[in-house]
C-alpha cells in the first residue's frame, strides 16, 4: 500500500444479460456491497474470476481497470466500493432471509405451588414449543427431588436439592420424581414466546 490519503467511493451499475461493463478506476481494493446474482470480474488485464456479493479484493499497489461480465440470462445490479489506504467497511452484508428473535419472552406463566407425593413422579410442565425456559424452585428445607424428562420413579436426571432452584432451557415435558417418604412442594414459572 502507498501512503496516500485514504479514499473510498461506491457506485451502482446495471449490467445487461450476457453483457460487459468496463470501469476505469484506480484503487487498491474493491468490495462487492450488493449483487443480484454472481458475475465474472477481471482486474486490469488479468484472468477472469468469479465474484459475488460480500467478496473483496485487495492488491499491494493498485489496479486501474475492472471488467465485469454478466454470464446470466437476466440483467444484474451490482454495487461496488473502490478505495485506497486502510479504509475498512464493517457493514454487514447479508443475502437471503434472516430469522430474528426478540430477546425478551412475551409471556410468563406462574405454575401454582404443587406437591410431588412421596415416592411418586409428577408432571411439572408439559411439552410446549413456545417455552424458552422453565424456572423451578424446591420449597422443601430438607428433601431433594429429581427433575426428569419422563415419569419414571427412579433416581436420575437433574438433582434439585432442598431450597435450590433450576433454570431449564427446554420445550420438552419436565417431570419431578420425589424419592422421599413425604411430599415435597415445588414452584415454577414457564417463560414462553407470545403467539
16 is written with which cell numbers?
445487461
In this prediction, residue 86 carries a pLDDT of 79
Instruction: Tell me if 104 sits within 8 A of 164, measured CB to CB.
Output: no
Q: Measured between alpha carbons, how far is 165 from 193 in angstroms, rounded to an integer?
A: 22
Q: Measured between alpha carbons, how far is 56 from 123 in angstroms, rounded to an integer?
A: 55
58-62, 97-101, 145-149: the lowest-pLDDT one: 97-101
User: 39 pairs with which residues across the strands?
Assistant: 51
107-192: same fold as 7-84? yes
Average pLDDT over residues 44-67: 91
Average pLDDT over residues 94-115: 77
Where are the chain's structural domains? 7-84, 107-192
Domain 7-84 has CATH 1.10.1040.10: no
Domain 107-192 classification at class level: mainly beta
pLDDT tens track for 141-167: 999 999 999 999 888 899 999 999 999
Angle subtended at Cα 81 by Cα 65 and Cα 55, rounded to the nearest 5 degrees: 90
To the nearest whole percent, how much of the chain has pLDDT over 90?
A: 68
To the nearest whole percent, how much of the chain has pLDDT over 70?
A: 91
Give the pLDDT band of residue 174 (cuts 50, 70, 90). Answer: very high
Amino acid at each position: 500500500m502507498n501512503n496516500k490519503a485514504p479514499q473510498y467511493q461506491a457506485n451502482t451499475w446495471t449490467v445487461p444479460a450476457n453483457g460487459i461493463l468496463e470501469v476505469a478506476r484506480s484503487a487498491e481494493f474493491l468490495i462487492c456491497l450488493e449483487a443480484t446474482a454472481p458475475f465474472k470480474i477481471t482486474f486490469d488485464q488479468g484472468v477472469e474470476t468469479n465474484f459475488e456479493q460480500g467478496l473483496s479484493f485487495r492488491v499491494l499497489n493498485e489496479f486501474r481497470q475492472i471488467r465485469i461480465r454478466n454470464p446470466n440470462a437476466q440483467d444484474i445490479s451490482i454495487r461496488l466500493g473502490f478505495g485506497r489506504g486502510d479504509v475498512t467497511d464493517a457493514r454487514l452484508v447479508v443475502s437471503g432471509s434472516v430469522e430474528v428473535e426478540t430477546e425478551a419472552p412475551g409471556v410468563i406463566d406462574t405454575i401454582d405451588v404443587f406437591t410431588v407425593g412421596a415416592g411418586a413422579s409428577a408432571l411439572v410442565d408439559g411439552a410446549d414449543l413456545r417455552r424458552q425456559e422453565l424456572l423451578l424452585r424446591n420449597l422443601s428445607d430438607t428433601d431433594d427431588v429429581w427433575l426428569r424428562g419422563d415419569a419414571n420413579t427412579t433416581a436420575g436426571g437433574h438433582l434439585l436439592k432442598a431450597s435450590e432452584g433450576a433454570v431449564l432451557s427446554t420445550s420438552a415435558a419436565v417431570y419431578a420424581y420425589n424419592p422421599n417418604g413425604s411430599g415435597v412442594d415445588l414452584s415454577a414459572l414457564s417463560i414462553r414466546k407470545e403467539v
